[in-house]
Amino acid sequence: MHRAAREADLAPLTNLATLRAEVAFVQDLDSLDVLYDKKGDEVRPIASISKLMTALVIAEAKQPMDDILTISDADVDRLRYSRSRLAVGTQLSRADMLHLALMSSENRAAHALGRYYPGGMPAFVRAMNDKARALGMRNTHFVEPTGLSSDNVSTSRDLVKLLRAASEHKLIHRYTTDDKYKVTVGRGRQLVYNNTNRLVGNSKWDIKVSKTGFINEAGECLVMLARIDQRDVAIVLLNSSNHSRIGDAVRLRTLLVENENKLAML
């Protein structure tokens, strides 16, 4: 188990610290009751949480998932110079690109998915925003598919709607909750990728959809739809610091299992 998650699990309920996430929203998706709301309507950059909408657009476009996409120079991040192990010229299937974008937050893969969309990147971004409007995400706007731009913004309340829509696609469930994934590139070289959410491998969690994110303007972000205490619960944490998004999620789960009324203690 990840160190931060293990330490948070051991924290006594009688000594709970305030949630470190600046924005937090927890909703029971069975009853639609809002269980916790901390700045739920505040518009903020959402970093790589954006890739959930990228995945939703790809899933609903029904393009062949076995089509081969090629990483090009256009996919290289020249805004933040984020690292990638997918060199220019790397060829992978659309399915593998989506898998890496969701599970490991691979920015070049996410950008390539948008570039190969019918009509190219402008059409893809329009589709992202059209889908946001269709879902009732009134305070959400996208300018690109990776989340590297701080102009990709939303609210935690809106992101619950995105989580619910994403959970309807088995592919998104699988790709966001795989612990590891291996791809073959070049002349048979294998690359092993890990999930950016350490809780995925935690036996205490039954996670249906998960996505992490980080850019400086957004802070550490985490959204999850998880089965907790026999109900589906959406957890959205924005602008945490360091590993505190994991600790926050664990504290919230503990309170829900023990007694949801204890959320008022946070």
CATH topology of domain 3-265: Beta-lactamase (3.40.710)
**Per-residue pLDDT at 16 exceeds 60:** no
- DSSP single-letter state for residue 250: H
Question: Looking at 38, 50, 104, 105, which residue is catalytic?
Answer: 105
* pLDDT reported for residue 244: 87
- Tabulate helix, strand, coil % of the chain (nearest 5): 40, 25, 35
**Per-residue pLDDT at 123 exceeds 50:** yes
Strand partners, 153: 45, 141
Does an H or E element contain 26, and which? Answer: strand 23-28
- pLDDT over 90 percentage in the chain: 83
Q: What mean pLDDT, rounded, does the chain reach?
A: 91
User: pLDDT digit string (tens) for 180-204?
Assistant: 999 999 889 999 999 999 999 999 9
Question: Is 208 among the annotated ligand-binding positions?
Answer: no
Is 244 a catalytic site residue? no
Token pair for 178: 């795989």
**Per-residue pLDDT at 11 exceeds 60:** no
Question: Looking at 51, 131, 161, 208, which residue is catalytic?
Answer: 51
Task: Work out the widest C-alpha separation in the chain, in whole angstroms.
Answer: 56
- Cα(11)–Cα(255) distance, rounded to whole angstroms? 12
Is 210 a catalytic site residue? no
Question: Looking at 48, 149, 210, 244, which residue is catalytic?
Answer: 48
Rounded to an integer, the average pLDDT of 65-70 is: 98
**Per-residue pLDDT at 131 exceeds 70:** yes
- Cα(47)–Cα(213) distance, rounded to whole angstroms? 5
- DSSP single-letter state for residue 141: B
Sole residue written with tokens 């088995």: 170
Is 105 a catalytic site residue? yes
**Per-residue pLDDT at 77 exceeds 60:** yes
Query: Residue ranges per domain, the chain?
Result: 3-265
Rounded to an integer, the average pLDDT of 237-266 is: 80
Q: What is the dihedral of CA 65, 71, 72, 76, to 10 degrees?
A: 120
**Per-residue pLDDT at 159 exceeds 50:** yes
28 and 145 Cβ atoms separated by less than 8 Å: no
In one-letter notation, the amino acid at residue 125 is: V
